[in-house]
Amino acid sequence: MLSFGVVGFYMGGLWNWLGTVGFVFVVLLDMALPQDDKPRNSDANGFQNVVLYIQLPFIITLWLMFAQMLSTGLSSGVEIAGAILSLSFLSALGGLPPAHELMHRRDKFARFYCSLYLTIFLLPMNDAGHVRGHHLTVGTSKDSDTPRRGELVYTFAFRSIWGQLMDSLAMERDRLQRHNRPLWAPKGRFFQSVVKLIVWLSLWFSIAGIGSLPIFLVTIAILYLVLGGFNYTQHYGLIRLPDEPIEPRHSWNQLKPLSRGLSFEISNHSEHHLVPTRFYTDLKPYPDAPQMPSIALCFLAAFVPSIWERYFVRPRLEHWDKHYASDAERALALEANKLAGWD
């Protein structure tokens, strides 16, 4: 899909929409395919590991081609809109899953490479908030990555990004204070993240020109909606008491072949939250855990709140409240339903 995006940008014109059309095709194909709840039984070596790294050059190429496109001033509004949507979809699909996998690994190079993915999103530190924040508070009111019942994806996308940014900054400040260092210490992640952002933005605007700033900001806003849209479907409306252990019932799973493949098995979300450091090749499906349809279909439905609530989440959350929730969680769910305006 990233290759198609590069080809589309190279050909220009209405071909800029190729990445968006490819995403729609994936949605339709994933809907048509049957559920896939079989273990993969593959090794975390060779191509299964290399593929996590080779997508970043494609994403950087797409962004620089977009900058070159804007610098010429020859593209129409329709062509630029196609480029923005294709760039947003392909950056999220190509960058978020491998970045997420790498941020959970223990070796320094993997986490550094993850920060390069996140730098393209202008969020080079947010892995800290995810790994040491979301994975401890998931399903509780403290977790900015758990959408509340009735919450729109349009507000959640920016609330979750801001919450993880603030959590990451607070964690890094506390870490440096324990070593008697200021937040701006050169060996600290905050300083290093600022350097990465300066290098990346300087490169991009040196090609696109500072006059492209409004289009850049619109592109980042749409990208954040896309990132938030995929994140939105992982824990929507699920509830956990802070002092209770994380169990398979606290995550939605999306066991479709393309959902699993494109997300590097993160759609096996229950297993991931039980053992966050387990390589994606070792994640086992939980067909008896809470289930959602295709991750791509859920993404599209999330942006139409009436469809999302009526056909996707309210029936499933009603089932979750009755068959998965503990007594204490069921009481909290009742209050959450009232706040959402649900019967």
Number of separate domains in the chain: 1
Which segment of 40-49, 227-236, 253-262 scores lowest on mean pLDDT? Answer: 40-49
The domain of 333 spans 2-340
Q: Average pLDDT over the chain, rounded to whole?
A: 94
Size of the chain in residues: 343
Backbone CA torsion sign across 332, 337, 341, 343: negative
Q: Which helix (H) or strand (E) holds 42?
A: none
Of the candidates 69, 35, 67, which has an alpha carbon nearest to the alpha carbon of residue 258?
35
CA atoms within 13 A on the CB side of 30: 26
Reported confidence tier of residue 277, pLDDT bands at 50, 70, 90:
very high
> Phi/psi at 208 (nearest 5 deg)?
-75, -30
Task: Give percent of the chain above pLDDT 70.
Answer: 99
∠ Cα 258 260 262 (to 5°):
60
Instruction: Identify the pLDDT of residue 232.
Output: 95
Of the candidates 229, 194, 220, 262, which has an alpha carbon nearest to the alpha carbon of residue 63?
220
Contacts (Cβ under 8 Å, ≥6 apart) of 189 = 125, 128, 172
Q: Which helix (H) or strand (E) holds 174?
A: helix 153-178
Instruction: Identify the pLDDT of residue 44.
Output: 66
Other residues' Cβ atoms within 10 Å of the Cβ of residue 338: 12
Q: Is the pLDDT of residue 27 over 90?
A: no
User: Mean pLDDT, to the nearest integer, of 83-107?
Assistant: 95
